[in-house]
């Protein structure tokens, strides 16, 4: 097969000459990834033209050059010898006693749940020889059971979803983080657990006569039923002790909105698959921080499937204060200022709710009437959802609108809150601060969280406040800012090391089981809290088990699940909502009869059957609109400020996670930093701010601004100009500026890592506030990947390349075709025939289809790939040089010609295309990249000598080079983390996506052992498994009945840069939008 | 000025030039041969193990099946190493007091595993899978040699890629009927028309995949 893989060089030369001759002006751009690209600046052209310019620049710098030569000389002298090392003799450490189920070199999967924050994500964890190495979603969990995708849709599969989010994927790195706290300390001295228990017991003895009046517990929101019950029992024994809950990104607004609407806190769940019209009021429900996001995004995309028979699509309206992924997917997205938001929401409500108590429409926007009439035409099949950041009145409005639209009981359901004790967390923190200030606190026990860092400025738990508590205890995974100010620091166990329980978004209970003994001396919150009870040495396993033993058998009281399809008709629902067939009622043995069996079953399955909260009937209170919550008022002459949790490191708790730090944020593509996001128009109003594409060589510099809040507190932030940001609004992300996060997440005095947005955040305006902007005489280097790996080259092509395809549903249904691809003569000879490889051979031809209509830009594929394929983190300076190693990247394209208001945003995941005519292959001098018989573009690390010709010749820019030894070969814990089925690459070799060849081979071997062909869907690549919306489908393209073949036969299918005739195995399906024709913009 | 070099030195110069070519070729040949030699591959090198375990005794004399100890050879990539309890199955009765077996008893007593020395050590980037080779009719002795004749285990094959490819390029030379997989006395190679014909028949019967597939890099390297 190698003899017919030569390139036609004469044709190639003619082709290049013809392109160079045609110096016609380039047409206007329609899709662009950065403002620099839209403006087509000279710097941008230079940037794109050079493949690896950074080294060249180092040569201009005399010191760099000399250092380089010195190192080169040394490495040349040693180069000849490095190959001559004998492998050290290897030991085989056999078992003493063969563990149950364990087969050497075969992975086992265990079900548990990831309780990282808020509602938990049910997962299956892969364990290789006792080491957890990869996290997948639990497809059997009720939350993940199949959605009703249109049955004829090839993507529909009877299996459940194995999706997870970026945080869950990256938590495996958190487990093996060498910076995790490893020892229990008292005033920085190492102590034993017994010493800690002794100290706590004597403190408790002091408190007991006072009924615990001096004891305060501070926790994050507690969802775990066992921990909640334990906390309540502790408080019952110490009636004067108090329990406070605080998280910086709490859901106080949601709670207050529910209390206003229904008089009680509720948990709202949705059926997005049944909703034809969805209105998001600043709600980013397609971001992983929204509880139930995995289910909702899957359901939402299910409503956007166009098949032979289903020609209808849901429609998403988004009104938002800062660009989000949900806004990018929305069919209509309006960016508005926070101060105008309430009036707009009330005006929509005025149309939707007959005789709305909030008055008539006060704003006159051209799209309001069309939106209102579209919603009212879809009564019972629509959803209004309000964002966590928006004030309670917006939530009350959303509840009232859902009520007026008849959605309650059809697409919107209410249950009890997930938290065991739902409180107003701002008030809870306020109470604690009051007690601290009054000196009423003697023993402060902080279970998890990092309140010293993340409390608002007016209620800051700083040393002045904390020192009034005589004894302070902090349980946390890291020795962080809070541990520094506490006497006792207890290292917390990671969830993969702990027994526990938790609930997913609809209340379904998962018993968490440990995958590994605690690597360090980690303790769980259950163990620490037990110290304050009579049984202070109880083991978490016993606590969890005995708690569930005393619970009534599941499936008796709570027969109906809320989220995953309830057919319990509530008062408002006239007809039962269409629902999935209810699971057969579980046989209900008496609790004592066979608890052990059901316990084992629950552990094995990863959930307790029918434990979701039952749907609750709540009625709208009469005076839901009477709220005197202060709303954001624009400050004269100033900007409005929006706080958001960081898309990657959330509220700062994942700051020491390199995978997440280096993950490009979905819209800005910034890594390793947080920025102040501003619109292009507003940026112009700041005179000193440069707005012209600030690239210096390969580096990206931005101006800085000082943000001064009303109390005069200031932070300095790098300014990021973002298309689509509303004018006059600045958005900043929480979570950065950590001082004691660990060696990855902590900045130093000279080089801070991001800025601490908590320094200007107050408790009474946690999400929106007015702000003064002062231009700062400073510049900041940002590592953004927006310009990296550009597929467009303005220096070369005369017209826009065929990268993104997006159409409206109407255009698609009328058969409007995209412009026919220009056909060039092929540079290659006839391709190898993959349909007939040899006798006896199953003739697989692996291929992938990526449906752009499904992609919500969540980045989960990138992290899942990083986890599966042992991909290293390179650090900020290397990202600046365009050396990030991600095998699959998600490109974000903006659409239209107006930088202020792009017409749309498109996400495009780009892995290796596995071209049948791969341009990388003929240029490799050492055959390090060659084709396999099944169509994989194999990368042979051991042959690679690092010429990088392949990367230069790759039109898709998917190849990644190990410029340095990026991989950490020394840290022992990282060695435990790695996937043993994938080689760990060293310095000087090229690498790229290989379609998870390890999974292909293991499925192939399994099929051969069982004398059959590989079944369709048996091989699931890491990116495919993690995708919540099934945008990625992998399979055998030689099998006409495989899902991937059916997708490739779809009329929307196209090849990226297909005109190059590279014949990529990865193809894309174009995106469809469903705008309302009546909306005038 | 007289000549510095005598005419006869021309011959020496020529000899040096031609000789250099020869020396370079010879050096290359030496390098290649050294690379293939057991000095590099570890072939034939007997490894002293913590327990003086004799395969010759257990396989050859006692006739214990390979799978009694290497349990996962038919199902997993790794053939598996016996746990201490497997040894103790017999040795709590037989040779229960033998001083040779003290390390095994110590392991059983203390729960500390025995650390064996790996004899067949492939590079970490080669992903060999035992189960599929067994399934496709590659016998134990094809790669591991006459284990039943080895009092102390050594590596019988060079385990270099060219050696792997001998079979991946022409499996018919080495495959044998499945019922003979664990037969130590089966012929090492199919030679002659008749045996090769049987090899081809087995290759087709066992659906051993085509050369292109078996030669693809990602078949063994990931």
Mean per-residue pLDDT over chain B, rounded: 91
A938 contacts in chain B (CB < 8 Å) = 216-218, 221
Mean per-residue pLDDT over chain A, rounded: 84
Mean pLDDT across the stretch A8-18? 55
Q: Are strands A277-281 and A382-386 parallel, antiparallel or unpaired?
A: parallel
Task: Kindly report the nearest CA distance between residue B13 and chain A, in angstroms.
Answer: 30
Least confident of A45-59, A434-448, B112-126: A45-59
Mean pLDDT across the stretch A161-173? 93
Q: Are strands A488-491 and A332-335 parallel, antiparallel or unpaired?
A: unpaired
Cα–Cα distance, A998 to A993 (Å, whole number): 12
Six token digits for residue A617: 């009937």
Residue to mutate among A5, A84, A90, with most B CBs inside 10 A, is A90
Position with higher pLDDT, A432 vs A36: A432
Among all residues of chain B, which has the CA nearest to that of A931? B216
Give residue A8's pLDDT: 54
Residue A415, SS3? strand
Task: Kindly report the nearest CA distance between residue A887 and chain B, in angstroms.
Answer: 15
Task: Summarize pLDDT for A274-305 with one digit per residue, the tens.
Answer: 999 999 999 999 999 999 999 999 999 988 98
Least confident of A291-305, A633-647, A813-827, B78-92: A813-827
From chain A, which residues contact B within 8 Å (Cβ)?
1, 87, 89-98, 103-106, 837-842, 930-934, 936, 938, 940-942, 981-983, 994, 997-998, 1000-1001, 1005, 1008-1009, 1011
Q: Between chains, do B213 and A933 touch, taking CB under 8 Å as contact?
A: yes
Among all residues of chain A, which has the CA nearest to that of B107? A96
A941 contacts in chain B (CB < 8 Å) = 125, 221
A4 contacts in chain B (CB < 8 Å) = none
ipTM entry? 0.91
List where CATH 2.40.40.20 sits in chain A.
639-784
Give residue A637's pLDDT: 60
- As a whole-number percent, the residues of chain B with pLDDT over 90 amount to 72
Least confident of A676-690, A909-923, A970-984: A676-690
Tell me which residue of A934, A936, A933 sits closest to A915, measured CA to CA: A936
Give residue B81's pLDDT: 92
User: Which top CATH class is A185-250+422-551?
Assistant: alpha beta
Q: Between chains, do B222 and A1001 touch, taking CB under 8 Å as contact?
A: yes
B80 contacts in chain A (CB < 8 Å) = 103-104
> In this model, does residue A55 exceed pLDDT 60?
no
Among all residues of chain B, which has the CA nearest to that of A938? B218
Q: Between chains, do B125 and A942 touch, taking CB under 8 Å as contact?
A: yes
B126 contacts in chain A (CB < 8 Å) = none
Task: Kindly report the nearest CA distance between residue B187 and chain A, in angstroms.
Answer: 25
Task: Summarize pLDDT for B163-178 with one digit per residue, the tens.
Answer: 999 999 999 999 999 9
Q: Between chains, do A1005 and B132 touch, taking CB under 8 Å as contact?
A: yes
Position with higher pLDDT, B36 vs A750: B36
Cα–Cα distance, A603 to B184 (Å, whole number): 45
Nearest beta carbon to residue A104 from set B72, B132, B203: B72
Cα–Cα distance, B152 to A646 (Å, whole number): 61
Cα–Cα distance, A200 to A532 (Å, whole number): 8
Task: Kindly report the nearest CA distance between residue A71 and chain B, in angstroms.
Answer: 28
Residue A795 — pLDDT band, cuts 50, 70, 90? Answer: low
Q: Between chains, do A981 and B207 touch, taking CB under 8 Å as contact?
A: no
Among all residues of chain B, which has the CA nearest to that of A991? B222
Domain residue extents for chain B: 9-36, 55-81+118-220, 82-115
Six token digits for residue A711: 């109390």
Give residue A76's pLDDT: 61
Task: Kindly report the nearest CA distance between residue B3 and chain A, in angstroms.
Answer: 41
Give residue A177's pLDDT: 92
Angstrom CA distances, A921 to A437, A846, A926, stand at: 70, 18, 10
A926 contacts in chain B (CB < 8 Å) = none
B136 contacts in chain A (CB < 8 Å) = 1008
Give residue A154's pLDDT: 58
Task: Kindly report the nearest CA distance between residue A1022 and chain B, in angstroms.
Answer: 15
> In this model, does residue A755 exceed pLDDT 80?
yes
> In this model, does residue A79 exceed pLDDT 80?
no
Residue A1069 — pLDDT band, cuts 50, 70, 90? Answer: very high
Among all residues of chain A, which has the CA nearest to that of B202? A840
Task: Summarize pLDDT for A858-899 with one digit per residue, the tens.
Answer: 999 999 999 999 999 998 888 888 889 999 999 999 988 888
Residue to mutate among B213, B215, B219, with most A CBs inside 10 A, is B213
Nearest beta carbon to residue B85 from set A90, A96, A998: A96
Q: Which helix (H) or strand (E) holds A501?
A: strand A500-503
Residue A81 — pLDDT band, cuts 50, 70, 90? Answer: low
Nearest beta carbon to residue B127 from set A97, A934, A981: A981
Position with higher pLDDT, A198 vs A4: A198
Cα–Cα distance, B136 to A1000 (Å, whole number): 18
Sheet strands (E) in A649-767 = 670-671, 676-678, 695-696, 699-708, 714-721, 729-734
- pTM of the model as a whole: 0.89
Task: Kindly report the nearest CA distance between residue A5 and chain B, in angstroms.
Answer: 15
- As a whole-number percent, the residues of chain A with pLDDT over 90 amount to 50
B111 contacts in chain A (CB < 8 Å) = 96
Give residue B41's pLDDT: 87
Q: Within a 10 A sphere around the Cβ of A673, how many other Cβ atoms?
A: 25
Least confident of A13-17, A781-785, A863-867: A13-17
A842 contacts in chain B (CB < 8 Å) = 209
Cα–Cα distance, A764 to A772 (Å, whole number): 18
Assigned CATH for A639-784? 2.40.40.20
Residue A556 — pLDDT band, cuts 50, 70, 90? Answer: very low
Least confident of A327-341, A788-802, A931-945: A788-802
Q: Which CATH superfamily is domain A267-415 in?
A: Dimethylsulfoxide Reductase, domain 2 (3.40.228.10)
Among all residues of chain A, which has the CA nearest to that of B34? A84
> In this model, does residue A572 exceed pLDDT 70?
no
Residue A59 — pLDDT band, cuts 50, 70, 90? Answer: very low
Mean pLDDT across the stretch A397-421? 91
Nearest beta carbon to residue B217 from set A89, A96, A938: A938
Least confident of A251-255, A749-753, B214-218: A749-753
Q: Are strands A1053-1054 and A1066-1069 parallel, antiparallel or unpaired?
A: antiparallel
B215 contacts in chain A (CB < 8 Å) = 933
Q: How many CB pairs under 8 A join A and B?
A: 142
Nearest beta carbon to residue A840 from set B72, B204, B218: B204
Task: Kindly report the nearest CA distance between residue A662 and chain B, in angstroms.
Answer: 25
> In this model, does residue A749 exceed pLDDT 90?
no
Task: Summarize pLDDT for A714-736 with one digit per residue, the tens.
Answer: 999 998 888 889 999 999 999 99
A106 contacts in chain B (CB < 8 Å) = 72, 75-77
Residue to mutate among A105, A130, A868, A995, with most B CBs inside 10 A, is A105
Among all residues of chain B, which has the CA nearest to that of A984? B125
Among all residues of chain A, which has the CA nearest to that of B84? A96
Q: Between chains, do B83 and A95 touch, taking CB under 8 Å as contact?
A: yes
Mean pLDDT across the stretch A126-146? 90
Give residue A1019's pLDDT: 92
- As a whole-number percent, the residues of chain A with pLDDT over 70 amount to 84
Nearest beta carbon to residue A841 from set B114, B210, B215: B210
Tell me which residue of A1067, A1072, A1032, A1048 sits closest to A161, measured CA to CA: A1032
Is domain A9-32+790-1073 given the CATH code 3.30.70.20 in the classification? yes
Cα–Cα distance, A1052 to A807 (Å, whole number): 10
Task: Kindly report the nearest CA distance between residue B123 and chain A, in angstroms.
Answer: 9
- The torsion angles phi and psi of A778, rounded to 5 degrees, stand at -150, 160
Residue to mutate among B39, B217, B219, B220, with most A CBs inside 10 A, is B217
Residues 6+ apart with CB under 8 A from A151: none
Give residue A579's pLDDT: 38
Angle (deg, nearest 10), helices A166-175 and A860-868: 30
Give residue A148's pLDDT: 61
Tell me which residue of A1047, A1027, A1051 sits closest to A1035, measured CA to CA: A1047
List where CATH 3.30.70.20 sits in chain A.
9-32+790-1073
Give residue A555's pLDDT: 45
Nearest beta carbon to residue B76 from set A104, A940, A983: A104
Task: Summarize pLDDT for A62-78 with one digit per residue, the tens.
Answer: 555 566 666 666 666 65
Nearest beta carbon to residue A93 from set B76, B113, B203: B113
Among all residues of chain A, which has the CA nearest to that of B122? A87
Give residue A112's pLDDT: 94
B43 contacts in chain A (CB < 8 Å) = none
Q: Between chains, do A1009 and B135 touch, taking CB under 8 Å as contact?
A: yes
Task: Summarize pLDDT for A622-675 with one digit per residue, the tens.
Answer: 777 766 555 555 555 688 999 999 999 999 999 999 999 999 999 999 999 999
Mean pLDDT across the stretch B18-29? 93
**DSSP-assigned letter for residue B117:** E
Residue A514 — pLDDT band, cuts 50, 70, 90? Answer: very high
Position with higher pLDDT, A50 vs B141: B141
Task: Summarize pLDDT for A337-374 with one digit per residue, the tens.
Answer: 998 888 899 899 988 888 777 777 777 788 888 999 99
Among all residues of chain B, which has the CA nearest to that of A930? B217
Give residue A563's pLDDT: 41
């Amino acid at each position: 097969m190698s003899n017919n893989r030569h390139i036609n060089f004469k044709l190639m030369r003619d082709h290049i000459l013809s392109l160079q001759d045609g110096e016609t002006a380039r047409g206007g751009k329609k899709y662009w990834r950065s403002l620099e690209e839209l403006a087509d600046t000279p710097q941008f052209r230079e940037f794109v033209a050079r493949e690896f310019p950074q080294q060249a620049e180092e040569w201009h710098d005399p010191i760099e050059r000399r250092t380089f030569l010195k190192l080169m000389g040394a490495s040349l002298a040693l180069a000849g010898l490095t190959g001559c090392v004998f492998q050290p003799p290897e030991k085989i450490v056999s078992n003493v006693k063969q563990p149950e189920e364990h087969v050497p070199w075969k992975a086992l999967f265990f079900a548990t749940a990831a309780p990282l924050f808020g509602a938990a994500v049910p997962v299956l964890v892969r364990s290789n020889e006792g080491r957890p190495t990869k996290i997948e979603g639990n497809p059997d969990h009720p939350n993940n059971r199949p959605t009703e995708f249109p049955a004829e849709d090839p993507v529909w599969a009877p299996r459940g979803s194995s999706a997870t989010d970026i945080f869950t994927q990256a938590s495996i790195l958190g487990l093996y983080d060498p910076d995790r706290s490893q020892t229990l300390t008292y005033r920085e001295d190492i102590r034993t657990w017994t010493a800690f228990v002794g100290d706590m017991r004597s403190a408790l003895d002091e408190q007991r006569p006072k009924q615990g009046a001096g004891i305060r517990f501070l926790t994050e929101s507690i969802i775990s039923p066992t921990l909640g019950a334990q906390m309540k029992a502790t408080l019952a024994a110490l009636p004067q002790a108090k329990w406070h809950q605080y998280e910086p990104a709490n859901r106080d607004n949601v709670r207050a909105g529910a209390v206003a609407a229904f008089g009680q806190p509720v948990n709202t769940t949705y059926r997005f698959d049944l909703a034809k019209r969805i209105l998001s009021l600043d709600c980013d429900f397609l971001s992983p921080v929204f509880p139930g996001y995995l289910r909702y995004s899957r359901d939402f995309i299910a409503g956007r499937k166009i098949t032979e028979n289903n020609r209808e699509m849901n429609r998403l309206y988004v009104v938002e204060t800062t660009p989000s992924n949900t806004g990018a997917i929305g069919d209509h997205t309006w960016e508005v200022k926070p101060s105008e938001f309430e009036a707009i929401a009330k005006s929509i409500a005025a149309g939707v709710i007959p005789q709305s108590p909030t008055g008539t429409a006060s704003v006159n926007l051209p799209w309001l009437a069309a939106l209102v009439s579209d919603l009212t035409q879809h009564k019972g099949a629509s959803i209004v959802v309000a964002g966590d950041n928006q004030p309670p009145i917006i939530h009350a409005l959303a509840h009232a609108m859902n009520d007026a639209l008849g959605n309650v009981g059809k697409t919107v359901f209410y249950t009890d809150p997930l938290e065991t004790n739902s409180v107003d967390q701002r008030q809870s923190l306020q109470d604690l601060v009051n007690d601290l200030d009054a000196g009423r606190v003697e023993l402060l026990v902080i279970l998890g969280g990092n309140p010293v860092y993340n409390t608002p400025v007016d209620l800051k738990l700083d040393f002045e406040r904390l020192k009034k508590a005589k004894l302070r205890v902090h349980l946390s995974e890291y020795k962080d800012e809070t541990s520094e100010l506490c006497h006792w620091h207890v290292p917390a166990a990671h969830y993969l090391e702990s027994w526990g329980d938790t609930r997913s978004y609809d209340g379904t209970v998962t018993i968490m089981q440990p995958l590994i003994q605690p690597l360090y001396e980690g303790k769980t919150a259950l163990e620490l809290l037990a110290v304050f009870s009579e049984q202070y040495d109880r083991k978490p396993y016993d606590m969890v088990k005995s708690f569930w033993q005393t619970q009534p058998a599941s499936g008796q009281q709570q027969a109906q699940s809320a989220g995953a399809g309830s057919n319990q008709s509530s008062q408002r629902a006239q007809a039962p909502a269409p629902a999935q067939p209810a699971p057969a009622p579980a046989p209900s043995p008496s609790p004592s009869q066979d608890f052990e069996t059901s316990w084992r079953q629950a552990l094995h399955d990863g959930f307790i059957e029918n434990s979701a909260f039952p749907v609750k009937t709540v009625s709208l209170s009469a005076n839901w609109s009477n709220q005197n919550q202060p709303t954001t008022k624009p400050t004269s002459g100033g900007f409005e400020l929006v706080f958001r949790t960081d898309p990657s490191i959330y509220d700062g708790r994942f700051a020491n996670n390199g995978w997440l730090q280096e993950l490009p944020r979905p819209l800005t593509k910034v890594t390793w930093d947080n920025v102040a996001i501003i619109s292009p128009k507003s940026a112009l109003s700041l005179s000193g701010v440069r707005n012209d594409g600030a690239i210096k060589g390969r580096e990206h510099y931005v101006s800085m601004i000082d943000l001064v809040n009303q109390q005069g507190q200031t932070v300095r932030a790098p300014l990021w100009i973002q298309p689509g940001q509303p004018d006059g609004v600045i958005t900043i992300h929480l979570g950065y500026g950590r001082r004691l996060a660990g060696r990855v997440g902590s900045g130093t005095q000279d080089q801070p890592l991001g800025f601490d947005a908590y320094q200007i955040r107050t408790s009474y305006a946690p999400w929106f506030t007015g702000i003064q902007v002062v231009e700062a005489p400073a510049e900041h280097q940002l590592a953004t990947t927006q310009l990296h790996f550009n597929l467009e080259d303005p220096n070369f092509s005369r017209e826009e390349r065929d990268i993104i395809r997006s159409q409206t549903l109407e255009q698609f249904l009328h058969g409007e075709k995209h412009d026919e691809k220009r056909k060039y003569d092929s540079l290659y000879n006839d391709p190898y025939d993959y349909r007939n490889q040899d006798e006896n051979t199953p003739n697989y031809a692996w291929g992938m289809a990526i449906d752009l209509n499904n992609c919500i830009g969540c980045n989960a594929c990138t992290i899942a790939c990083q986890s599966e394929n042992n991909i290293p983190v390179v650090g900020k300076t290397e990202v600046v040089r365009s050396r990030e190693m991600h095998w699959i990247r998600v490109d974000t394209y903006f659409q239209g010609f107006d930088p202020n208001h792009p017409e749309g945003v498109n996400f495009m995941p780009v892995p290796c295309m596995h071209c049948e005519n791969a341009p990388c292959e003929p240029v490799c001098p050492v055959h390090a990249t060659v084709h396999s018989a099944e169509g994989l573009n194999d990368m042979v690390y051991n042959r690679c000598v690092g010429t990088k010709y392949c990367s230069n010749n790759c039109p898709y820019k998917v190849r990644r080079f190990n410029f340095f030894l990026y991989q950490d070969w020394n840290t022992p814990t990282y060695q435990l983390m790695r996937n043993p089925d994938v080689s760990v690459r060293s310095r000087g070799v090229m690498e790229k996506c290989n379609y998870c060849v390890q999974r292909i081979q293991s499925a192939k071997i399994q099929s051969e052992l069982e004398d059959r062909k590989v079944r369709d869907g048996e091989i699931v690549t890491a990116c495919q498994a993690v995708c919540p919306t099934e945008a990625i489908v992998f399979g055998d393209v030689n099998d006409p009945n495989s899902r991937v073949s059916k997708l490739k036969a779809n009329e929307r299918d196209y090849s990226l840069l297909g005109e190059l005739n590279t014949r990529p195995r990865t193809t894309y399906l174009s995106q469809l939008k469903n705008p309302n024709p009546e909306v005038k913009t | 000025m007289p000549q510095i070099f005598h005419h006869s030195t021309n011959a020496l110069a020529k000899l040096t030039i031609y000789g250099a070519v020869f020396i370079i070729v010879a050096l290359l040949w030496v390098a290649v041969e050294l690379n293939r030699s057991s000095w590099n591959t570890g072939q034939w090198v007997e490894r002293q193990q913590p327990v003086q375990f004799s395969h010759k005794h257990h396989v050859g004399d006692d006739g214990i099946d390979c799978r009694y100890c290497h349990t996962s050879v038919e199902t997993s990539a790794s053939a598996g190493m016996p746990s201490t309890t497997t040894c103790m199955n017999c040795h709590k009765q037989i040779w229960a007091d033998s001083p040779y077996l003290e390390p095994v008893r110590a392991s059983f007593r203390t729960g500390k595993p025995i650390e064996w020395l790996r004899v067949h050590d492939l590079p970490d980037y080669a992903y060999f899978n035992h189960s599929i080779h067994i399934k496709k009719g590659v016998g134990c002795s094809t790669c591991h040699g006459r284990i039943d004749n080895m009092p102390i285990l050594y590596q019988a094959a060079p385990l270099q890629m060219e050696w792997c490819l001998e079979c991946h390029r022409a499996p018919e030379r080495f495959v044998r009927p499945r019922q003979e997989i664990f037969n130590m006395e089966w012929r090492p190679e199919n030679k002659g028309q008749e045996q090769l014909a049987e090899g081809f028949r087995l290759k087709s019967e066992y659906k051993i995949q085509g050369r292109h597939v078996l030669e693809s890099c990602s078949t063994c390297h990931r």
